[in-house]
Amino acid sequence: MVPMRDGVKLHTIIYAPKAADGSLPILFNRTPYGIDNIYRAFPGSLQELIDEGFIFAFQDIRGKFKSEGQFIMQRPPRGPLNSTPIDEGTDTYDTIDWMIKNVPRNNGRVGMFGTSYPGWLVVMAIIDPHPALKAVSEQATPADMFLGDDFHHNGAFRLSYGFEYAYELETSNVLTNFKFDRADTYQWYPGQGLWGDYLQLCVAVSRRSRAPRTAGGAGSTWSATRRTISSRKSRMAPGKRSSAKRSSSPTTTPTTSANSCCCESSWTRGNETKMCVAASAPARRGGRGRPPPHNHR
Domain boundaries, the chain: 2-139, 152-236+248-278
For the packed helices 88-102 and 117-125, what is the interaxial angle rounded to 10 degrees? Answer: 80
- Do the beta carbons of residue 110 and residue 26 sit within 8 Å? yes
Kindly compute the dihedral angle of the four CA atoms of residues 294, 262, 169, 128, in this order, to the nearest 10 degrees: 70
Q: Judge: domain 2-139, CATH 3.40.50.1820.
A: yes
- For residue 174, the tally of other CB atoms under 10 A from its CB is 13
pLDDT of residue 46: 86
The whole-number pLDDT of residue 148 equals 76
Report CA-CA distances (Å) from 42 to 1, 45, 171: 20, 8, 28
Taking residue 197's Cβ as centre, other Cβ atoms within 10 Å add up to 20
Q: What is the 8-class DSSP label of residue 175?
A: -
Q: How far apart are CA 295 and CA 297, in angstroms?
A: 7
In Å, what is the CA distance from 227 to each residue of 18, 195, 217? Answer: 72, 17, 17
- Digit-by-digit pLDDT tens for the chain (297 residues) are 999 999 999 999 999 988 878 899 999 999 999 998 777 667 777 888 888 899 999 999 999 999 999 999 999 999 998 889 999 999 999 999 999 999 999 999 999 999 999 999 999 999 999 999 999 999 998 888 888 778 888 888 888 888 899 999 999 999 999 999 888 888 888 777 766 676 677 667 666 655 554 444 444 434 444 444 444 444 444 444 444 344 444 443 333 333 333 333 333 333 333 333 333 333 333 334 444 444 444
Nearest-CA neighbor of 285 among 263, 265, 261?
261
pLDDT number for residue 193: 73
What lies within 8 Å, CB to CB, of 5 at 6+ separation is: 85, 86, 90, 94
For strands 106-115 and 24-31, give the pairing. Answer: parallel
